[in-house]
Amino acid sequence: MKILHIITRLEKGGSSKNVLSSIKSLPNIDSYLIYGESKSEEEMLSLKKEKCFKVKTLIKEISPLKDIISIFKIYKLIKKIEPDIIHTHTSKAGILGRIASYLYKKNINENILIVHTPHGHILYGYFGKIKTAILVKIEKIVADITDYFIALTPAEKWESVAAGIGKAEKWEVIHSGINFPDTRPDQKNSRKNLWIYEDEFLIGTAGRFEKVKGMEIFVKAAI
């Protein structure tokens, strides 16, 4: 079985780690990767170069000319790879990748499956009202050519369904796995290094300081 993953950028973050872990953790699956312009590609070093394809016109920002070029470049690579499953990731690669995949499905192989993982929706927290409305409209259109969706959380699934992006039966919730170290750090020394008393109650979180991450909610809850 051949699985082709398509993602906009390979930056240090959850979506990139999810894709790379999926490839590395399934050695018996013939996995391929198409990715766009990225600042950091260090984590790709362990992947087979002949199975990784960079499309320089695939960028995060909206660019009508580059976006059209990207669709045809991705389509050409799909024809070369001949995958059984095409799994797109994140919004931009998800839209362009699914359009290219649909063209391939209609013209060459009607049996391929098109799967999309948004890695968090774009319904709020990222763009202004006008841009968000446009992107949601596009997402609704490409949802019709998507066989399955993967949400990282139940909330992501149901908010997307409520917005009209795909039917509920097309969505599955699969949480991102985390590799814990074999030996956990010593709590006493860790607290000492952070100047935290042993008897103090401690909670924490990790994430980017962006509105969509809800850091202000965590702070309000913590205090």
Domains delineated in the chain: 2-173 (3.40.50.2000), 187-222 (no CATH)
154 band by pLDDT with thresholds 50, 70 and 90: very high
Nearest alpha-carbon partner for 116 in 72, 75, 80, 152: 152
pLDDT at 114: 98
The predicted-structure confidence for 174-207, as pLDDT tens digits, reads as follows: 988 777 777 777 878 888 888 888 888 888 887 7
Beta carbons of 17 and 23 less than 8 angstroms apart = no
More confident residue, 61 or 182: 61
Residue 78 pLDDT more than 70? yes
E strand or H helix that includes residue 30: strand 30-35
pLDDT at 47: 74
* Confidence (pTM): 0.84
The predicted-structure confidence for 13-39, as pLDDT tens digits, reads as follows: 778 888 888 888 888 889 999 999 776
For helices 91-107 and 64-81, angle between their N-to-C axes, nearest 10 degrees = 50
Instruction: Specify the 3-state DSSP secondary structure of 70.
Output: helix
Residue range 91-115: average pLDDT?
A: 96
Task: Find tokens 């890695």 and name the residue.
Answer: 119
